[in-house]
A = this chain, B = another copy of it.
């Protein structure tokens, strides 16, 4: 089989040697930069923020909650997980180039007492107190964007908020003032619908296994809802990593956006010039450059 050069982009990355100690003609690749990052440049996802979604077919999706960006929704989602709200639920909506949505998808099913919501509209938060590593390129939607931990964020005046990028997780809600309770969640699976920013509480980012959601058949009902119950994709159980035995539980770490290696990686993302890229873009979109994440031993 011919491996066309669009593929070759990454193959070259994989095949290239790590940055040598002595100067060499070959510049480091994105993969080289990530591999060479020092241990202190990585930060582990808090087990209290690491959510494991086990689907009925045995596949697993891992996501990180963002308590700094939507603390009350995150706390409620932890409560719902521990009350087994999601266990036996389903993925019941997949709309092409938009979102995948899961939970119970049933109006008649009430959340456990104290977890019903609605919660305060955590659509943004004070910018003060949130460390943001700025992205040094124009953004269409906000005057300033960047990264806070593994999450993409935007800042305007004294407010900050997470942004709708591929794999970012939000809280489905009814019309105002019903802001949802976190019992029905969605993740972005197409071009980032940034126009939703500040209209919905965003609570996390898918870290691993998203292909088990993104490759599902699109729903043929309005807005991508599955029309027949048997089309739903069953969720066996949802767990917080913190509630598993520390010995051997899954764990992930992200490359800290404030690290030197991230800065180098981001610069190369925006200025690819190699055997394949003849013309560097000179910029990169916020949603094209989420901080790298990798699994680590628990």
Contacts and interface: CB of A to CB of B under 8 A. Distances in A.
A216 interface: yes
Interface in A1-21: 1-11, 14
Nearest to A193: B288
B272 A195 contact: yes
Most buried by B among A97, A101, A189, A275: A97
Given A5-B173, A96-B210, A215-B215, A281 B138 contact: no
A89 to B, nearest CB: 12
B1 A285 contact: no
Interface stretch (A45-53, A197-205, A246-254, A255-263): A197-205
Contact of A173 (B6, B92, B197, B215): B6
A218 interface: yes
Contacts of A139: 138, 140
Contacts of A99: 6
A288 B1 contact: no
Q: How large is the interface on A (under 10, 10 to 19, 20 to 34, 35 or more residues)?
A: 35 or more
A179 B97 CA distance: 29
Interface stretch (A67-75, A77-85, A164-172, A237-245): A164-172
B195 A281 contact: yes
Nearest to A104: B2
Question: Secondary structure at chain A's binding surface: helix, strand, loop or mixed?
Answer: loop
Contacts of A189: 190
B200 A6 contact: yes
A152 to B, nearest CB: 11
A105 B2 contact: yes
Contacts of A97: 166-167, 210, 214
Which of A6, A94, A96, A105 neighbours the largest number of chain B CB atoms within 10 Å of its CB? A6
Interface in A212-242: 214-218, 222-223, 225
A222 B7 contact: yes
A17 to B, nearest CB: 17
A217 B217 CA distance: 10
